[in-house]
Amino acid sequence: MNKLNTHVVIIGAGPSGLLLGQLLGRQGIDTIILERVSGDYVLGRIRAGILEQGTVDMLREAGVSQRMEAEGEVHHGVDIANNGVVTHIDLHALTGGKTVMCYGQVEVTRDLMAARAEASWPTYYEVSDVQPQAVTSQQPTVTFSYKGARYQISCDYIAGCDGYHGVSRQTIPAEKRTEHERIYPFGWLGLLSDTPPVSAELIYCKHARGFALASRRSATRSRYYLQVPTDDKVENWSDDAFWAELKRRIPPAAAARLVTGKSIEKSIAPLRSFVCEPMQYGRLFLVGDAAHIVPPTGAKGLNLAVADVTILYRILCRVYQEGDTACALQYSEIALRRVWNTERFSWWMSNMLHDYGATEVSGMAGHTFGRFMTSELDYYLSSEAGRTLIAEQYVGLPFETIKGSESK
Ligand code: RFL
Ligand code: PHB
């Protein structure tokens, strides 16, 4: 058994794990990151595109914002279309000057990987059999296999940044955690293409045939999504079929501008709301998708992960710089306040914008639920108060301040 030591073991090199490692490293707090797959595989997963102001600020604080500032697009608004009728949500005007940044998760991850490589902080890719142990003791350990050898890391804390299918959440005994879950009867079929996007800003489209989203990565790269049944398969969708269906669901003016082309990537993601409570057990903390999943309709998954990272980072700074170890006990409570608010927003936006068909929801026929949701969307879009409510949450609520344990 090869023995290693560090302050914090981070399981998972997705955006949560890499950002936490970067922020802690800059404060002189040592980390070792363990990742199950290769770096290229991580970068092959096309996911989020929209960053809240708070996320952008944390990437700046982590010293990895240079390329984002140069290549990312600041968006001042989004459009919501209801059966072809477009309402503009002026994020900037409705929130006193806030905006969002359009910059892909793949690029955020690439920038974080480059910064970690540059700093020569240890990262083990393609590890297997990762096991957090003794997490309720003062000195937890993590064991893993790497290139045929077995390793053991002694550490102070473990950050479980290993996504929904990771090992960290399973380390919390089943009787010590409560899991809340809602699985939606539809998924998103995403397509990436090197074609000019239909719109300078995003268009969220509610349509009788199902939801569609027109998003982008740059002036020459588009990202589109279609609501599809949960059991649908990518193989059922040729590029031509995708473009034809998208054209039907987006507003007519956008459809007239649509430039189609060959897809670079096409995949289906199921929609799920999920929360694990609590988000910590002894010295193990769950961060990002390891603790919660939101449906992507509010563009919140990555942003919520960054909010967890921010809370944990600020707590660990107090622990290491001021010796305030009791401060760590607050992590789950603080994180869950934001988690539930974001879960609610993402669930609400998903319900308003998708079509449930005949599938029963909340004890009523899908068509009846659909009528309520169409009316709800009409109402919120028609009043400035309603649009403000959507805008305020879309750009992201401010982060909570972390107080020392003595001031609680
Ligand atoms: P990740 O990205 O899943 O990374 C977890 C990492 O842990 C590794 N891992 C392990 N490593 C070691 N040992 C084990 N036993 C391990 N098990 C797993 C995995 O290989 C992986 O590398 O979680 P993280 O870092 O918490 O990041 C979360 C975000 O990826 C996620 O919330 C967002 O992508 C969600 N999301 C969006 N979020 C936004 O904020 N804005 C958006 O516009 C947005 N759009 C989206 C999205 C997610 C989507 N999909 C595909 C689910 C659009 C889509 C289509
Ligand atoms: C994306 O561009 O991938 C994206 C944007 C907004 C969302 C979800 C995904 O709500």
What's residue 403's pLDDT? 84
Identify residue 280 by its one-letter amino acid code: Q
**Other CB atoms within 10 A of residue 38 CB:** 12
The residue contributing the CA closest to ligand 1 atom 30 is 302
Single pTM value for the model: 0.96
83-91: which pairs have CB atoms within 8 A and are 24 or more residues apart? 83/206, 83/207, 83/208, 84/207, 84/251, 84/252, 85/251, 86/203, 86/251, 86/253, 87/381, 87/382, 87/387, 89/387, 89/390, 89/391, 89/394, 90/387, 90/391, 91/391, 91/394, 91/395
How many structural domains are present in the chain?
1
* Domain span holding position 25: 2-75+100-180+273-355
90: in domain: no
Domain of residue 112, CATH code: 3.50.50.60
67: in domain: yes
List, in sequence order, every residue forming a beta bridge with 190; answer none if it has no partner: 225, 267
222: in domain: no
86: in domain: no
189: in domain: no
- Ligand 2, residue 105: give the atom nearest the CA: 3
365: in domain: no
Q: First-to-last CA distance in the chain?
A: 43
Closest by Cα among 7, 41, 287 to 142:
7
Ligand 2 contact via 50 beta carbon (within 6 Å): yes
* 295/182 Cα distance (integer angstroms): 10
List, in sequence order, every residue forming a beta bridge with 154; answer none if it has no partner: 5, 141
What's residue 46's pLDDT? 83
Reported as a single tens digit per residue, the pLDDT across 245-267 is 999 999 999 999 999 999 999 99
Closest ligand to Cα 105: 1
Write the CA distances from 174 to 8, 169, 179, 275, 331, integer angstroms.
Answer: 24, 9, 9, 14, 20
- Ligand 2, residue 297: give the atom nearest the CA: 10
Closest ligand to Cα 294: 1
- Residue 287 three-state SS: coil
Reported as a single tens digit per residue, the pLDDT across 332-379 is 999 999 999 999 999 999 999 999 999 999 899 999 999 999 999 999
Low-confidence ranges of the chain (pLDDT < 70): 407-408
What's residue 144's pLDDT? 98
196: in domain: no
**Token pair for residue 96?**
């006193």
What's residue 407's pLDDT? 65
404: in domain: no
* 369/375 Cα distance (integer angstroms): 10
